Structure 1
Amino acid sequence: MSARTSPTGQPITLRRAVARDAKRLTRLVRGSGAYQGKYAAAVAGYRVGPDYIEAHRVFVAVGADEHGDRVLGFYSLVLAPPELDLLFVGDAVQGRGIGRLLVAHMRSEARAAGIDRIKVVSHLPAEDFYRRVGAVRTGTAFANPPAVPWDRPAFEFRIPPG
């Protein structure tokens, strides 16, 4: 992975999420600009809790600022069945390679766990991102009202052996 720097010029660190990250991750999900307007209901009551963090491989990208570690983005890899459940990058830092860094790390984690394919159901505004980072479209996840009242593209990351 190439070196990345945070908005303050500090290096970005990827680390395993811990229970005390739960509130910050929840705020990142609920505050995502990709979930405004007609998509707002999908994350309105969403919570990334300590129990979720303990049950899955959740990793955060952090960069230091004047207040300490700032969460720039995160992802969650579910091992059984293999799925990229969540991937969020803060609105203010999108376009700086953090999403690519998270995906590369997720691929490495999957490879280490012996997984060769990772499913991801994309939010519509993220479809182009997943294509750019190498996911292959496999179909459509159909609407499931009232939670998700729209169809979503389904992708797969193919993980070659290391």
Structure 2
Amino acid sequence: MTSTLQIEIAHATVEETAELTAMVRTARAYEGEYRVMVANQTIDAAYIGRHLTRVAHGPDGAILGFATLQVPGRGEPGEGELDFMFVAEAAQGLGIGRLLIDDVVAHARAQGLTRVHIVSHPPSAGFYRRCGARDVAVIEPYGRIGWSRPHLVIDLAG
């Protein structure tokens, strides 16, 4: 992780939604069989109006990644769900993902949530575990998603 990269995390704007959508739909992590999961995903004005959507910007204003929190999400009342978490290909490995997770967790705590659920893309589960998430279940394949996905949580109480 670099300590010299200046990152600002802010609420998403309507003007950024097309770039956020493109980041989701073209992510290399979703190539091959996984593409079906993101091919039709859209981040638009209605989405960012309903869900906390936080965007990491580099010093030049470029979008380096984003994360979203749904409340309610999976789980019980008082719990939320990380819905999207993407880092631009060129910015991966710089600690942007961890900054976004920490930011979403801080917002979840500020809302009084006790837990954040994550249904992880299988190759990303290790990242979430390194950020403090623990496994609670496995989501079995259904619909167009033909693979199992880890269900993790980050506990916020305490």
Q: What TM-score, normalized to structure 2? A: 0.91
SS for the counterpart of 1:131 is helix
**RMSD, matched Cα:** 1.6
SS for the counterpart of 1:41 is helix
Aligned to 1:159: 156
Which 5+ residue runs of structure 2 have no aligned equivalent? 74-79
Post-superposition offset of 1:160: 2.8
SS for the counterpart of 1:150 is coil
Post-superposition offset of 1:4: 5.0
Which stretches of structure 1, 4 residues or longer, exceed 6 Å deviation after superposition?
none
Q: What TM-score, normalized to structure 1? A: 0.89
Aligned to 1:25: 20
Letter in 1 for 2:66: F
Aligned to 2:143: 145
Are residue 47 (structure 1) and residue 42 (structure 2) matched? yes
| Contact 1:16-1:57 at 8 Å conserved across structures | yes
Identical-residue share of aligned pairs (%): 37
| Contact 1:111-1:159 at 8 Å conserved across structures | yes
Letter in 2 for 1:112: A
Which 5+ residue runs of structure 1 have no aligned equivalent? none
SS for the counterpart of 2:64 is strand
- Partners of 1:62 and 1:144 lie apart in 2 by 35
| Contact 1:4-1:12 at 8 Å conserved across structures | no
SS for the counterpart of 1:118 is strand
- Partners of 1:4 and 1:31 lie apart in 2 by 28
- Partners of 1:14 and 1:4 lie apart in 2 by 16
Aligned to 2:76: none
Are residue 63 (structure 1) and residue 78 (structure 2) matched? no
Post-superposition offset of 1:64: 3.2
Post-superposition offset of 1:100: 0.5
| Contact 1:75-1:85 at 8 Å conserved across structures | yes
